[in-house]
Amino acid sequence: MGAVAAAAALLQGAPMPSAHAAACPDAKVIFARGTTELPGVGPTGDAFVNSLQSQVAGKSIEVYPVNYPATTDFRTAIDGISDARAHILATAAACPDTKMVLGGFSQGAAVMGFVTANVVPDGVSAATVPAPMPLDVADHVAAVALFGKPSARFMRAINDPQIVIGPNYVDKTIDLCVDDDLVCDPDGRSFGIHSRYADVGMANEGATLVANKLQALWAADAAAAADPEQAPSPEQLAAPITGGIPPAHAGGSAPGPTGPLPAPAPAVPVSPGQDHLAP
């Protein structure tokens, strides 16, 4: 009985688990990995997140890996679009002050690009694809970081509509492509280079640009709290989103339809000796 009483006393004195949800983070990275990469955010996503966390030390950064198959059956990319959309909406509702960063590599970049779309394309049944997000959700997104996003040429080769960033996200989007990457460079010829975004420092480059956007938003929030009438806008504090990116690395967002990725039907010619790597 003595042992039972002692245990009861210890339990009564121990702190009980909180019934409240965990505090909202300062920022949340929602990242979709590339084709055939293991569940998580993938090597490019890991390099990007690690660099970002080091550049905004002192701020809490939560990471959510988009849950989707990421296989060469590109029709299942719609699962990623649905999952990312649901998590973005849930975060905006539960943590309205959290700054979201949307990101993706290769097929994951296509997924996240389609998530930002503001329309369902012609010829696609609205019943088969996720509805565009409410326009005001963009107010909760600090940046969109895309690595190796499939080009219009590549999307035509697999009989899929090109990826068009929604107008509310264009100014927040960082679209990085390694030179000669067959997937994202309109004139690219190499699949081998497609897996080297971390190696060539481009994941770190994207993280630096995102960190600048986040710091500008946090500074604007702090200024508004201190003096609401004199607070500068985030646009006055932020550097141009494409600053420091060579023209060949900054992808465009030409108007066009959006939609999920269908099954692969690559028609891009690959010369003998080239590496083959699915996007």
pLDDT above 70 for 29: yes
Per-residue confidence (pLDDT) for residue 233, from 0 to 100? 57
Instruction: Tell me the average pLDDT of the chain.
Output: 80
What local confidence, expressed as pLDDT, does residue 161 receive? 82
Q: What is the pLDDT of residues 167-210, one digit of tens each?
A: 999 999 999 999 999 999 999 999 999 999 999 999 999 999 99
C-alpha angle 151-33-185 in degrees, rounded to nearest 5: 20
Domain ranges in the chain?
23-249
pLDDT in tens, 31-45: 999 999 999 999 999
Q: Is 205 helix (H, G, I), strand (E, B) or coil?
A: helix
Cβ count within 10 A of residue 168: 16
Give the 3-state secondary structure of residue 61: strand
Question: Which pTM value belongs to this model?
Answer: 0.76
Helices (H), 56-132: 77-94, 107-115
The CATH number assigned to the domain with range 23-249 reads 3.40.50.1820
Query: What band does 13 get if pLDDT is binned at 50, 70 and 90?
Result: very low
Instruction: Show which residues are catalytic.
Output: 106, 181, 194
H helices of the chain, in order, are 2-13, 42-55, 77-94, 107-115, 152-157, 202-226, 234-237
